[in-house]
Amino acid sequence: MAFAAGKTYEAPKDEKVKKKIAEWQDLKFGLFMHWGTYSIWGIVESWSLCPEDRSFTQRTGPYADSYYGYKNAYENLQTQFNPTLFNPEKWALAAKNAGMKYMVFTTKHHDGFCMFDTKYTDYKVTSAKTPFSSNPRSNITKEVFDSFRKQDFMLGAYFSKPDWHSEDFWWSYFPVKDRGVNYDITKYPDRWKRFNDYTYNQVEELMIGYGKLDVLWFDGQPKMEMSSIVEMARKDQPGIIVVNRYGKPEYINYLTPEQTIPEKYIPYPWETCMTMGRAWSYNRQEKFKPTRKLIQMLVDIVAKNGNLLLNIGPGPDGEWHKEAYERLEEIGKWIKVNGESIYGTKPVLPYRQDKWAFTGKDKAQYVSYLPDEDERDLSAKMTIPMSSINKNAKISLLGSDKLLKWTKSDNQILVDVPKETITRLSGQPVWVFKII
């Protein structure tokens, strides 16, 4: 089970945090956005700056042969970043119509480029060096948060703990060898303290200058002292959820498996962060997952007690791929009919069994059938693996107002599905039986 957090779960003691986590768990479906100057080249976010020999760190293009030449050219992308089609209201509406309920935005990724108006570096979207700084909406993070807040989204700020632009993280006195800080912090404590103060100050800017926030989503592995940062964040944003990936369990309020779904039910709050295509960042030749697969992932995750944070990478012009909008629209059509089996539900035993997923809310139980790719229609008799059911229970399919006949047989429920219902609900990515 590949949890990026890499730690066991420790429940928070703060009652406001507990309440916020419960609210967040009920939302189930969120939007992630990775966006920065790297979108101009259409490359992986930040990682091509990292001198590790990994599949996701490879450099391409005319500057690839020289690491320092490449880094200079990469950082010079700041002078080209001008997303004139930026329209966060369009994004927020598309996400809302898809049934998404919360959003996490990359305020700063590992490359150190700030998508907000920080006063602690000039490597930012609002710098005079950045063409978009003359745009009245140049403080992109603020504009994104404001637009999604108006659509009643819960909001999260992604913030990278590493900063590969900072001289106090990657000090130019020493060569850079990997993703970590490149000097001995015990020999140079003043420099390390400056970096920690820099991080504290930037997080504080986000906490006090960008309205109500609900999640503070830290990424990266530096062994930073986080208690003062979390204390400050919760002073300014009471109850804020902290996701300090790779940190101490007390500051990991929910677990974050990345690009994977756990095989079984997890009894703790967790969230799969998953790309809609192949990459976190914008890729001109992106290949998107089929809508059917995305919906089945959501149903699978919810039945295992998790949330789905689905990523879309905006392009250098400030727009999404049209395929992203199309998939959100298709997801929304399914959610409009079947959303009651998702939002505010809890997993119900046996959680997941074969092609079935089980959730419940109040007096209703929802049993979802996840068909294979070649299954276009329900069978006339569906066999639900359930060991117990009230003898007076009523069973229906979401999307149809007809009550279905059923019988109990050993540890199974046999449900008759009329031909007209099969025809009406043909081609669905997931069919949901409601039992009350």
- Note the pLDDT tens digit of each residue in 82-106: 999 999 999 999 999 999 999 999 9
Q: Give the tokens for residue 70.
A: 């490449």
Q: Per-residue pLDDT for 197 more than 90?
A: yes
Q: Where are the domains of the chain?
A: 15-341, 346-435
Is the Cβ–Cβ distance between 318 and 325 less than 8 Å? no
Q: What pLDDT is attached to residue 2?
A: 36
Q: Which of 80, 68, 165 is nearest to 127 (CA)?
A: 80
pLDDT digits (tens, 9 = 90+) for 320-339: 999 999 999 999 999 999 99
Strand order in the sheet with 102-108: 241-244, 215-219, 154-160, 102-108, 29-33, 306-312, 270-275
Q: What pLDDT is attached to residue 7?
A: 53
Beta bridge partners of 368: 357, 432
Q: What fold characterizes domain 15-341?
A: TIM Barrel (3.20.20)
Is the Cβ–Cβ distance between 141 and 115 less than 8 Å? yes
Among 229-233, 239-243, 246-250, 310-314, which is the least confidently predicted range? 246-250
Is the Cβ–Cβ distance between 219 and 161 less than 8 Å? yes
Q: Per-residue pLDDT for 406 more than 80?
A: yes
Calculate what percentage of the chain has a pLDDT beyond 90: 95
Query: How does DSSP assign 357-401, residue by residue?
Result: EEEEETTEEEEEE---TT--S--SEEEE--S---TT--EEETT--
Q: What pLDDT is attached to residue 247?
A: 84
pTM for this one? 0.97
Tokens 């400030």 locate to: 318
CATH of domain 346-435: 2.60.40.1180
**Between the CA of residue 82 and those of 185, 273, 281, 367, what are the distances in Å?**
37, 28, 17, 48
